[in-house]
Structure 1
């Protein structure tokens, strides 16, 4: 039985009205009244203020969602853009602009704007400033690679079990040898993450061809062409194994690995394959 992976907390999805941001929306109603009264200058100011207000709310809301996802993740990078901080700054500027219409001197509006900025930060918090380190990146990459290898192994094991159900010992032995050889080769090449990524399509193609060959063998097993289908299946298993090995060799050398190292890995896994066979 495999180990059960610990579940990660998922941040709850929320809209602007589901958080404290909804309270700030009430402040927009007095600003809307400025659009319908006063001089053109007042209307222009109202449009500018409403634009700043909407932008600030959007940034704070988005920053809050990102912060929630950051808190729920075991390992995460800090956002490049401090959205909540920028939104709080815009709210401070908004307060300063509105206060400027009621005071002659600048210090009082500036102080009120600074107060608005501080209250916004206190209410919504700061953006994450540092990367959260859960498991080391190398360990996480290894776990992801191992999970992929386990899925491939399970897929091939299913094909091998289908062949074993036919009751032919030679076919079962060859199918098991192919599984052992392919998985050994994959374990060898997966030490290089770049080379492993290049194998996604070849692996998918290999599994697809193996599934088709299995289906063709099983379909012909109860008919008159049983022996012919058996010989063809054995030949195709050999061809699939050799073609996959060639693709692994190419993937290793394309990533700059020394040709001798690649051949050594493949030779070692070929020896294991022969021992199983």
Structure 2
């Protein structure tokens, strides 16, 4: 009985997320005229139709995932706002789609642009926007007090601990003065943290990643220790080659597992790549 009450309160059903599925289905039917472009005969029309369908499918994926995260955000007493505003991006893609479609019927750009803005606004009105602020968190408090007020695991604190641990290992390798080793270790750390941030933006994601992250850190710690132990011996070059080979394989294995975990959690390839791009932006900007 309580389960049925919860499903009614959140709009969820056993097979989907209730009203959202209906809204997306209506939106899909409204976009049916795009298919007619495939049968107009010209190469331009076919290309436009394919582009429109790609934009439309990407928008539907983003809106659906954004609404799932919004439901989890509303249910939680404390939660962080999603790093990637999926529903806003989905609405913008639909606006671009409508603008391109309208561009085939008007000479100027003003009217198609107006239609695109209207389509974006209507999409946001229908599905809502993403949460923009953290809920129930007070980052101005000292960490022990802030943590005491959080009934669920502090995802950001966990990410910061992982980041600090990997930073320490990168510094160990950088202290050896080998530029190539430093670059490879920094690249490994950046790639792994990008995946962890993209897949662990909510407590459930961090719980799924807990064991593989702990295993990854232990294996990297062992590789660092082996390299440091052999650095001032006659086996330095062999240990160096072994280290590069091992950390490359370690990074590839972790990425394969992380991507598989994301697919099991309902994340498609497009969404994951978008999250990775978003989470790596600050790093590239700093570089």
TM-score using structure 1 length: 0.45
Larger gyration radius, structure 1 or structure 2: 1
TM-score normalised per structure 2? 0.44
